[in-house]
Structure 1
Amino acid sequence: MTIKLFIGLYFSSTLFLFAQTQERTARTLEECIGLAIENNLDLKTTKLSRETWDVNFKQQKNAVLPSVNGLYNLGVSNGRSIDPFTNGIVNQELTFSNANLGLDVVVFNGFRLINRWKKAKLNLKSAEMEVEAGRQSLILNVTLAYLQVLNAQDLVTLAESRLTTTYGQLDRLRSLYEEESGNPAEYHDLQGQLALDAANIAESKNNLEVELANLNALVNTVETITAAPLNVQVDLNVYGYTAEDVYDMALQVFPTIKARNLSLEAAEKSIAVAKSQFVPEISLFANLNTNYSSAARLFNESGTSIVETGDFVSINNQDYSVFTQETNFASDPIPYSDQFDNNLNSSVGVLVSIPILNGFKTKNNVALEKIKKEEAQMALAQIKLDLKTSIKQSYSAMQSAFEKYNLLQDQVDAYAESFRINEIRFNNGVSNSVAYIISKNNLDNAQTNLAHVKYEYALRIKILEYYRGKI
């Protein structure tokens, strides 16, 4: 009853886990890679950084163009103010307006704008290489996670196969045990082995869930995915490249190396930009101005009139006032458009800015940029060293996995034959359960190790191909 209850609980949990797995969508490796490139958050962040550098490049490129700016205002003032038309002081409500159009052109500034443009272009290319590096790294990580899921799935299958074999033997001995015609110790030994096999399945399935979680985190989709079956073939031929070959090719094609080289070139341009502060800046300017005032008036002739002059003449001791003819004028406001035309004025000139003393700011900026260049050189040297070390480690691990695979394949074949013989002997009552269990465990462990090393070899090959730019 205990065994039946145990087996019932096990298969119930298995059916539950199977139901959970059925809710997942099986995806091929290519589909997982496509979804990851579309949805992965780290890659999206890298792409946003690239877009930022793209905008910065456009800003620096457009900075070499002439600067043209316009100004216009319209307002009303009350009380004492200056009439913009006559520059006289008035004390009335005044409507005013001004317009200005200015042009500034940098003729020479030590190639500062040009070098900033080139630096921004190098930074943009570096950002593009970082996006490509992130994309390739993501493809590698998805591939490795996918292979780990397949490995975990294979180990679950192996564990379930072991349980089936053990349960078959236990079922055979149960009738003998119940009839009290067999060795009860062998029956109880297989009970313990059955519990161990079931525990191994639980552990294998837990490991599978962990690997699936890693894969889903990289793919980052709404649906929960699992890996579709993929036959991983191990090429028994020796890998066709040495570690030095892989490293030399990586220096030529690895995006991160390219990005660091471009960053180093950008640092050199930063030094040129800082040095340009020592050079005078020459620029041209031009301005066009006009204004309007509601106080401006146009006086037109409106006729004549006879007025007293205040003088007089005496005739026969009689005084007579003197009159004169005077021209009359009417005050009319000057239209807005006419004032803008009449008040136009312009100016052109050359501006020379000569650096004389600025607290050695320019000198210190040049020194700081030189330090940044050295930091970029160190970063490039460090990544080359890390790359070389990683390639050597992966290559060594690949060689070890290749050798272990061939040895473990022979071991599996040997243990499989040993188990076949021991199983026949055990079934015929010639051998005891101890020998049977030892033989079975030897074969199980050998098969597990072979599955591990098969995927280990495949993973290392993928990593080396990634360094060669063949992902």
Structure 2
Amino acid sequence: MKNFSLIAILLLFCSQINAQQKEWTLEECVNYALENNIQVKQSELDLEVSDIEKLDALGNFIPSINAQASNSWNTGLTQNVTTGILQNQTVRNFSAGVTAGLTIFDGLRNFKQLQRARISRLSNEYALDKMKDDIALFVADSYLQVLFSKQSLEVLRAQNEVTVEQLQRTQDLVEAGVLPQGDLLEIRATMADEKQRMILAENQIQISLISLAQILGIQDYQNFDIVDRDYNVFGNEIMENTVYDVIDRAKEERSEIKIAETNMELAEKDVELARGAYLPTLGAFFNYNTRETGQGRITGAVLDPNEPTRQIGVVQGSQEIVVAPNTIPTLGSPLPFIDQLYRNDGISYGFQLSVPVLNGFATRNQVKRNEINVKRAEYQLEQAELDLEANVYQAYTDAKGAFEAYEAALVASEAQEKAFEYATERYDVGLTNAFDFSQSKIRYENTQREALRAKYDYIFKLKVVELYFGIPVGDLKF
């Protein structure tokens, strides 16, 4: 039993280590960033807010219903609601009611508000799409930077292995008297320089990994790593299109233009909403109310023993006084609560018309402000088109230049490789010194690193052009 428990603990521990040391692919990084990046989440919240605004607009089409109730006590000189006489008393009164209201016509502003809410949601969808494109490119650039740093380290290590071999060979030749002591010192200096550069390269890898992890929102920097994979250069068929083809496609597909277009539609809708304030507003209402009191009710009447009659008038001809019995109402217990509510209820209903006449030019000025915003939105759309054209042209030119630079870097690397092989052969037979050999090796190493840099620079810039061409983020191939 103890052995079984120990094995289970070991398996659990190993599985946790493997989970912590997971290596991420570029596709996984992009997908994770699109789900967890803070900026993407903020754009998604904007989309939720637009859904709430749409519900607000829909709420303008349904009646408003409000219920109210109050129960109050009045102490002191108050009117007796039963007898109508002012007297010192403590009275409890209860009232309740329900009111419903419906806007029948408000200058079509409720319809315009619903249309505006739909346009606003569409604008937020475009903003979310643009944010995802930007994050995907940002992640891809950071990911390729990590790969470049890792492969640069591999180049340094490979060159260092050559240096180690040459160090041993040079030491043997120096001890044999074939080469001078200075060549051995030169190789050792090269060895120390390479170790220093490898340390710096390892640090650069860690910095690049931390930067990528921060973009993804991953805090476990120590165990974060990516798959060591060599991405090939392919998919450059997009560059067979002219730059003007890419620009035309970008204007149709890119979110920047769509955002500017929806912003202009929103500005135009605001003008329509403001103009609706010129028109009358017609509403309907319905109210039901009832009341109850704790005061006693009149149950009958008796003659006033102190003054059994009272004067009610005088005969005009004879001046005879006319009297009538002077009665005092008798009060009984109040009716039950429900019975009073049933007997004292009532309803009111009707229509209410409001016609704007003069409001200090507030409506007129608001219309003018919104018309200015329409002009501003038109200029912003025009500027967005100009910016998109410039960005596409720049990206297309950068991609072409990056490809030419990559081809030139490959040619330079191949030529320098042959030059290094030739320098190695000459150094092995003692026809060149260690300094010239080290310089040749450094030049070869630099051309290899430059070829790697040009390669990943071209891959990234090619993906930028593909995005401008309208290829979705999920369909980008690396």
Distance in 1 (CA, whole Å) between partners of 2:83 and 2:461 is 86
1:344 aligns with 2:354: no
In structure 2, the partner of 1:230 is: 229
- Structure 2 residue identity aligned to 1:151: F
Q: 1:86 to 1:137 in 2, by over 3 A?
A: farther
Distance in 1 (CA, whole Å) between partners of 2:176 and 2:39 is 65
Distance in 1 (CA, whole Å) between partners of 2:353 and 2:344 is 29
Q: 1:90 to 1:37 in 2, by over 3 A?
A: farther
1:79 counterpart SS class: strand
- Structure 1 residue identity aligned to 2:271: I
1:347-375 Cα offsets, whole Å, 9 max, x none, are: 22221111111111111111111122222
In structure 2, the partner of 1:149 is: 146
2:333 counterpart SS class: strand
Choose which of 62, 65, 68 in structure 1 pairs with 2:62: 65
Query: For structure 2, which runs of at least 5 residues remain unmatched after alignment?
Result: 1-18, 310-324, 474-478
In structure 2, the partner of 1:314 is: none
In structure 1, the partner of 2:113 is: 116
2:247 counterpart SS class: helix
Superposition map of 1:207-222 within 5 A: 207-222=204-219
1:105-162 Cα offsets, whole Å, 9 max, x none, are: 1111111111112112211221122122212221221122111111111111111212
Given that residues 399 and 462 in structure 2 are in contact (C-alpha distance below 8 angstroms), is that contact kept between their aligned partners in structure 1? yes
2:228 counterpart SS class: coil
Q: 1:83 to 1:179 in 2, by over 3 A?
A: farther
Given that residues 213 and 219 in structure 2 are in contact (C-alpha distance below 8 angstroms), is that contact kept between their aligned partners in structure 1? no
In structure 2, the partner of 1:398 is: 399
Aligned-pair identity (%):
25
Distance in 1 (CA, whole Å) between partners of 2:85 and 2:383 is 73
- Structure 2 residue identity aligned to 1:344: D
Distance in 1 (CA, whole Å) between partners of 2:330 and 2:84 is 23
Distance in 2 (CA, whole Å) between partners of 1:293 and 1:355 is 42
1:167-186 Cα offsets, whole Å, 9 max, x none, are: 22122112333455421222
In structure 2, the partner of 1:240 is: 240
Q: 1:284 to 1:85 in 2, by over 3 A?
A: farther
With the length of structure 2 as denominator, give the TM-score of the two structures: 0.84
- Structure 2 residue identity aligned to 1:121: R
Distance in 2 (CA, whole Å) between partners of 1:196 and 1:162 is 12
- Structure 2 residue identity aligned to 1:262: T
1:368-412 Cα offsets, whole Å, 9 max, x none, are: 111222222222222222222121111111101111222222222
In structure 2, the partner of 1:105 is: 102
Deviates more, 1:291-300 or 1:334-343: 291-300
- Structure 1 residue identity aligned to 2:252: Q
1:196-216 Cα offsets, whole Å, 9 max, x none, are: 322332332333233212211
- Structure 2 residue identity aligned to 1:282: L
Given that residues 35 and 221 in structure 1 are in contact (C-alpha distance below 8 angstroms), is that contact kept between their aligned partners in structure 2? no
Q: How far apart are residue 272 of structure 1 and its match?
A: 0.6
Distance in 1 (CA, whole Å) between partners of 2:246 and 2:278 is 46
Query: For structure 1, which runs of at least 5 residues remain unmatched after alignment?
Result: 1-21, 312-323
Distance in 1 (CA, whole Å) between partners of 2:427 and 2:80 is 119
Q: How far apart are residue 300 of structure 1 and its match?
A: 6.1
In structure 2, the partner of 1:277 is: 277
In structure 2, the partner of 1:5 is: none
Given that residues 83 and 293 in structure 1 are in contact (C-alpha distance below 8 angstroms), is that contact kept between their aligned partners in structure 2? no
Q: 1:64 to 1:398 in 2, by over 3 A?
A: same
In structure 2, the partner of 1:16 is: none
In structure 1, the partner of 2:42 is: 45
Superposition map of 1:409-448 within 5 A: 409-448=410-449
- Structure 2 residue identity aligned to 1:119: R
1:348 counterpart SS class: strand
2:240 counterpart SS class: coil
Q: Superposition RMSD on alpha carbons, in Å? A: 2.7
In structure 2, the partner of 1:29 is: 26
Q: How far apart are residue 237 of structure 1 and its match?
A: 5.5
Superposition map of 1:193-204 within 5 A: 193-204=190-201
1:231-275 Cα offsets, whole Å, 9 max, x none, are: 211138552322222222222222232222222111111111111
In structure 2, the partner of 1:253 is: 253
Deviates more, 1:330-339 or 1:388-397: 330-339
Q: 1:236 to 1:106 in 2, by over 3 A?
A: closer
In structure 2, the partner of 1:134 is: 131
Given that residues 298 and 334 in structure 1 are in contact (C-alpha distance below 8 angstroms), is that contact kept between their aligned partners in structure 2? no
In structure 2, the partner of 1:335 is: 336
How many residue pairs get aligned? The number is 434
Distance in 2 (CA, whole Å) between partners of 1:50 and 1:272 is 24
Given that residues 296 and 331 in structure 2 are in contact (C-alpha distance below 8 angstroms), is that contact kept between their aligned partners in structure 1? no
Distance in 2 (CA, whole Å) between partners of 1:310 and 1:361 is 69
Deviates more, 1:427-436 or 1:114-123: 427-436
Q: 1:158 to 1:78 in 2, by over 3 A?
A: same
In structure 2, the partner of 1:183 is: 180
Q: How far apart are residue 92 of structure 1 and its match?
A: 1.5
Given that residues 142 and 215 in structure 1 are in contact (C-alpha distance below 8 angstroms), is that contact kept between their aligned partners in structure 2? yes
With the length of structure 1 as denominator, give the TM-score of the two structures: 0.85
Deviates more, 1:148-157 or 1:347-356: 347-356
Given that residues 99 and 286 in structure 2 are in contact (C-alpha distance below 8 angstroms), is that contact kept between their aligned partners in structure 1? yes
Given that residues 236 and 462 in structure 2 are in contact (C-alpha distance below 8 angstroms), is that contact kept between their aligned partners in structure 1? no
2:252 counterpart SS class: helix
Distance in 2 (CA, whole Å) between partners of 1:35 and 1:90 is 78
In structure 1, the partner of 2:77 is: 80
Q: 1:327 to 1:421 in 2, by over 3 A?
A: closer
- Structure 1 residue identity aligned to 2:228: P
Q: How far apart are residue 453 of structure 1 and its match?
A: 0.6
Distance in 2 (CA, whole Å) between partners of 1:369 and 1:162 is 67
In structure 2, the partner of 1:469 is: 470
Distance in 2 (CA, whole Å) between partners of 1:265 and 1:466 is 25
Distance in 2 (CA, whole Å) between partners of 1:88 and 1:455 is 97
- Structure 2 residue identity aligned to 1:464: V
